[in-house]
Amino acid sequence: MNTVYDRETLLRSDLNNFFIERLGLPADDYYSKLDQQSLYDLKSVLSDINNIFTLKISLQFVHWLGDTLMLSAAVVEQIRNSILRTPPNANGYDVAVTEPIPVIAEVKCNLPINGKDVFGANQRDNIARDIKSLICGKNRSTINPETYLKFMVLLDTEEVRRAMIHFVKNMKEYKDVIVFPESATKPNRTDKVHVVYIKP
């Protein structure tokens, strides 16, 4: 006997399981408790998920930066506070440090679409745009990137790593610009974009 697909049953199950398994809430039918206003409020909160993800990865990257460039705890805290005081989607770079070592970074929390090992067309375009801004600068930023260490910060998953390798192979204009620094190597090339993978 064939099982008939029921869209609402699937959505109900996914939502309830998320609340129960991921958030540790008591077993219940949360789906049925969401009226129109609750759904609207939940959608509004969830629209900030990418901003939350970007913030968490940015803060983790600052710790990586401190360890890798041997920055003092005070400098790391200063960079961290600067990120926390910057509104999401503000003009400029996701991370910008002027001293003691000039650093700019763009943070992308993309996972390859459909569980594949290749970024989707829009994802590729966004990554290419960010790499270009690291190299050439941004119209609404006063930073001249020429003397800055440049970083493209990505989620540390096997899928993202494979998708980035595919991106570099197929985006010939960036092939000679992007480098993947070794874990024991201190980045020092201002003419390259260093790709760094960070776990949330």
* Boundaries of every domain in the chain: 7-46, 49-198
**Measured between alpha carbons, how far is 16 from 22 in angstroms, rounded to an integer?**
10
DSSP 48: T
d(CA 179, CA 147): 17
For domain 49-198, give the fold: Trna Endonuclease; Chain: A, domain 1 (3.40.1350)
User: What does pTM read for this prediction?
Assistant: 0.83
pLDDT band at 132 (very low <50, low <70, confident <90, very high): very high
pLDDT tens digits for range 5-48: 788 889 999 999 999 999 999 999 999 999 999 988 888 888 78
Comparing 3 with 77, the larger pLDDT belongs to 77
Type and span of the H or E element at 143: none
In terms of C-beta density within 10 A (0-12 exposed, 13-18 middle, 19 or more buried), how is residue 152 classed? buried
Sheet of 103-108, strand order: 95-97, 103-108, 149-155, 193-198, 178-179
Both ends of the chain: CA-CA distance in Å?
A: 44
